[in-house]
Amino acid sequence: MKMLGFLIISVSLIFGYLVSNYVFWTLTNSSISQLISINNMFNNLYIYSTTVMVYNNLMIREIAERDPLWEASGDSLQNHVNRLNYFYTTKISRLNSLKQFTMDLPNYALPAQSVINDPNYNELLYGSACEALYSTQQLDVEMYTFCQTNFSGAFTKGILNYMNEYIQELTNQNDITFIPTTQAEIDAQLAQLELYYNDITTGTLPVSVYVITRGLILFYEYISSYYGNVLNQQLANMNIMLWITCILSFFIMSLFCYLMLKYLRTIYFRTAFILGLIPHEKLVSDEQTIYLIKQFWKENN
């Protein structure tokens, strides 16, 4: 029974060691995957903020000016309608993603605020991005002045406000960037396009995007530092967990091995002592004694 108990406990310890480390590894892996997803979200937030405007401008250019030489090549992506569809679908897709990223932004930005504890980070979140960028030498005096007055002052009201203002600016241009199906829609699109070209604020959007991207880069530097530390902490916890379980299992198994060795030595000495009391002639000639010794050996080996 003691041998059986030892085996059960040993197997239970091994099983518990494997299960506990597997469960902890699963939780750590899940956290790391989430951190990677957050990192990808911030990367896409920065990339899409620029490329959505690029696709928007490419579509406006395609509406206003077709290139017969490109179309004559016969390539599907040089076809006027195909190009309009490509720019339109890509712009709408990235604009929707940008909206979702902006909505999710507080969920990841606010928990990091108390840890980062930097005035410039707080300015990016709630205050003036212009101040934060200017104090970190991301903007010169001229761009700082532009930042203060552009986007109806949205740059001075936190990152969510100016991202929403930017998204709204691009959404408003959907009056131009759509796929017309009738002559009336084509005429309406060209009329909107003429208003767009004559609007004095049209040329300021690329400059505004420059300020937006500088703000997002600075924001990403803060966030990546915070979540990088979280990732390192997760890996450190996993390493500590492995060491603790290994050392604890080693000491427990060593104790059990010691007790088992002590138990087996006690049985050996008692058996040897008992055999020493039996006369040699009886061991050699007595069949019953020989049978008992063989039976004892069979049961214990």
Local confidence pLDDT in tens for the 301 residues of the chain: 766 777 787 788 788 878 888 888 888 888 888 888 888 888 888 899 999 999 999 999 888 888 888 888 888 888 888 999 999 999 999 999 999 998 988 888 888 888 888 889 999 888 899 999 999 898 999 899 989 888 888 899 989 899 999 999 889 888 888 888 888 988 888 888 888 888 766 778 888 889 999 999 999 889 888 888 888 888 888 888 888 888 888 888 788 788 878 887 888 888 777 767 767 666 667 777 777 778 877 877 6
What contacts 181, CB < 8 A, 6 or more positions away? none
CA–CA separation, 297 and 2 (whole Å)? 18
Distances (CA, A) of 291 to 202, 279, 295, 298: 107, 16, 6, 10
Q: Report the C-alpha gap between 185 and 63 in whole angstroms.
A: 12
How far apart, in Å, are the Cα atoms of 158 and each of 56, 197, 205, 208? Answer: 25, 30, 18, 15
From CA 228, how far away is CA 220, in angstroms rounded? 11
Cα separation, 273 vs 278, in Å, equals: 9
